[in-house]
Chains A and B, each alone.
Chain A
Amino acid sequence: MKEEKHVKRPPRGPMAPLQKAKNFKSSILRLLKELKPYKFLITLSMILAIAGAALSIMAPNRLADLTDEISKGLIVNTKNLEKLTKDITSSLSNNDRLNAILDIQLNEKTSFTIMASSSITPEDKEEFNKFLNEIQTSKQEDFVKNLTNLPTSVLEVLLQDSIYQDVAITAQDKIAFLKVSQNIEAHKEIDIPINIEKVLFSEITLDKVQITSQDQAKFLELMSKVGEDQTQLYKQLDKAPKHIKQVIEPKMNMKAIKTIGIILIAMYLSSALFTYIEQISMTDVSNKFAKSLRTRISNKINRLPLKYFDRHSTGDILSRVTNDVDMIAMNMNQSLATLVSALTLFLGTIIMMFYTNWIMAITAILSSFLGFLFMSQVLGRSQKYFSARQEELGNLNGHIEEIYSGLNVVKAYNGSKEADRKFDEYNKKVYEANRKSQFLSGLMMPMMGFIGNLGYVAVCIVGAVLTMKNQISFGVIVAFITYVRLFTSPLSQIAQAMTAMQSTAAASERVFAFIDEEEMNNEKNIIKSLSRSKVKGNIEFKNVVFKYDGNDKPTIKNFSAVAHAGEKIAIVGPTGAGKTTMVNLLMKFYEIDSGDILIDGISTKELTRENVHDLFTMVLQDTWVFDGTVKENIIYNRQSISDEEVKEVCKTVGLDHFIKTLPKGYNSKIVDNDTISAGQKQLLTIARGMLEDTPFLILDEATSNVDTRTEELVQKAMDKLTEGRTSFIIAHRLSTIKNADLILVMKDGNIIETGSHEELMAKNGFYADLYNSQFEI
C-alpha cells in the first residue's frame, strides 16, 4: 500500500473558522496593486457582472408585462358587454316600435267583442275592465306591461295577425312574445318568436362587427339564464353567437406577447453570455495571477538567505505556495464577481422595487430583513460551535496520530486502556460538537427557503390588497415575487463574499509577507572570480566570528585556522556543537560577522556565492533525493555527464548492483520511502557529489546512515576522491577521521581543541575522552 502524501488543507465551507488578516485594508490594497496587470480583464468582468445583474433586474419587469398581457386575455370586454346589453334591452323597451309590431286593436269594436264573447270567462272580462281603467291612470310606458297581464283569451281578441315591415306576425307570436317579455324582469328563460326577433332588434354595429337581430335574441336568451354567479356568465358567454363573442371575448395581444417573449429571450441569452464571459475572464485572471504568485514564491526561495529557513518551517512556506495562493485564486475567481453582481443586484432591486411601487417595496424589504435578522441570530450563535468542532476534531486527530505512530509503545506498555479512555473522551466531545455544528449548518438552507416564502406571502397579500384597490396590476405582483427572490439571494452572497474577502486578505498578507522578505545581498558589483581549474586549494580562517540571528552568544568565536591544499580537515564534537555552522560559513550560506575566510588568499566576500559553490562539492547527512529516476538524481543539473560516468561512480560507491536489481535499472523512479533505503539514498547523494570535480570537498556526516561495513567501502572510494583536494569532514564515528591532517574539536559552539589525532590523544582532553568512550561498557 502506498504512503499517502497530503498537505493539510484548512477546512472550507460554512464550517470553516474565519481567518482574519492582521491589517485588512492594506492587504486588500496590496492585492489590488498586484492585480494591476490584469486591469483590463478585471474591469471587463466587473462591467459584465454589473450588466448581467442589471439584466436580471430588468427581466422580471418584462415577465410582469408578459403576465399582464396574458391576464388581459382573461376578462371579458366589459365595455362592449355593457353596451350590447344596453342596446338589446333598450330594443325591448322601445314602446313605439313595440306598439307598431304588436298593432294592438284596442277600440270600441274589440272591447265590445270581448265583453260579448261567450268564450271569455267573466273573470277575464273583469281583468280586461281593470286594464282599461288602469291605462287611463298609468303612464304610457306601462302600457305594454299592463297588457301582458291580460288573460290570453282577451289578448287573442286584441292582437290580430298583422304584417310589420313585410314580416307576417301571427297573434300567437304576439302573445308568446308578451309572455316572454315578462320573463326578462324575472330572469327567466327568454324565447322570442322568430318573426318578432326579426323585427324587434335592429342590427347593431360594435367594433365594426355587425350583430344580427338573431344573435341579439340568442344573447338575450343566454343572458336570461345567468344568475348572480360570475362563472355562470362566462359559461353562457361561451355559448354566445360568433359575432357577439368577437366583440366581448377578452383579447390577448399576441403580437405584444411575442415581442415581450423575444425581448426576454434576448435578455436571458445575453445575461448568460455575460456571465460566461465574466467567469472565463476571471478564471483566466485568477489562475494566471496564482501562477505568477507561485512562481514568485518559488523564485523567492532561491533568493532568501538560509537564516530565513532557520526561523520558518517547510510546512509554513508550503502552505503559502498551495493553500494561500489557492485561497486567493479561488476567492478572486468566485467572490469578486459575485460581490460586484450581488451588490448591483441588491441596490438595483431596491431601486426598481421603489420605482415600481413603494408600498410593495417596503413590504418586501421588511419581510426579508426580518428573516435575515432571525437567521443572523442563529448563525452568530453557531460560529462558536464551528470553531469548537474544529478544535475538538484537532484534539482527536492529534491523539489518533500520536497513538497510531507510537503503536508499538502503546502495545508494549499496555497503554491501550489509557489511549481508549482519552480517545473516548475526545471522540465524545467531537460528537457533541459535531451534532451541534452539523445541525446549525444544516439550518441555513431551510431558513433561506423560509425567508423566501415569507417574502412571497407578504408580497402576495399586500399586492392583492393593492390590486383590489386598483392601485397596481397583477403583473406588479409577479414582478415583486421575483424581486423578493433577487433581493434575498444577494444578501447571503454579500455576507459570504465578505468572509471570503477576509480570508483572501489573510492569505495575501501571508503570501506578500513572504515575497517581501529581505533577500540575500546583491552581488552585481563583484568582479573577481576564481575558476575551478586554477584554484590551488588553500583555505584560511582569519578570526572568524559568527552569531546566528536570535542567539545571544556567537556560535563561532574568533576562529583561525589554515588548511593547505590537499589536506583533510575533520570537525568533531557532540551533537549541537555547531559543526554544521562551519560548513554553512564555508559555503557562504551565511555571512560571517567579522573576520574572513580566504580561498587562495582571496576573501570569499569578494566572490559571488555562485562562484564559491562552484568550487565546493558537498555531501550532507540528510539525504536529499527528488522525484525522478536514479540517473536523473545522480546527474542532477549537470549536462555533460555520460551514462558511463554515472555507472562508474555507482560502482565506486557500491550502488551498481542494487540499481541493476531495480525493475528499470538506472531509469527507475525513486519514490520516497518505498524502494530505496536511507543508506542507499545516502550512497546516491555521495555518487552525485563524486561526479563533481572541484578543488574542495565537504562531507557532513555523509555516511551516518550507512552500516559500518558499507561505510568502509565508501570511505575507500572517498579517500580516492579526497586525494589532491582540500576536504572538510564532519563525522560522528571517530574512527573514520583518525587519519585527518587537522582535527577541530567543537563543543557548545566553540572550537576547544585542534590538532592531529595523535596530538589530541596525547593531550588527553575532550577529544581523548570522546574517543575512548567508544570502547567503554
Chain B
Amino acid sequence: MAILYKNLKLKTLSLGPLILLYFLSITEIDTQFSNYFEILSFNLQLIIVYYWVMKDPSILGNGHIFFAGIINDVIMGLPMGLSALGYLITALVAMYIRSVTVKMTFLQTGLLLF
C-alpha cells in the first residue's frame, strides 16, 4: 500500500511540469512579462521546455511539447505551427546539449557558452 501510494505521489509530481506547460499555454496569463519590463521579454514555456528536457526528458514528452505549441499559437493568434516549431527546436537544442555533456571537448564547451 505504501509503495503504491509512493508511486502515485511520484507520478503526480512528475506530471507537474507537463500540467504547468499546458496551463501556461492555454490560459490568458502573460508568459512574456511584457508589462513588467521595459526592454526585457522572455518566454516561460521555452524555459520550462529547455529545463525539463535537460533535466529529465521522460517528463515532457515530445508530443506534449508539440501540442502545447499548437495551443499557444491558437491562443496568441500566431500562424499555426510556429510556437510548436520553436518549442521543438528548443527541445532539440536541450537534447543535443544533454547528449554532448557526457563527453564534451574544450571547443564544444566554448561554442556552447558563446
Same complex origin of A and B: no
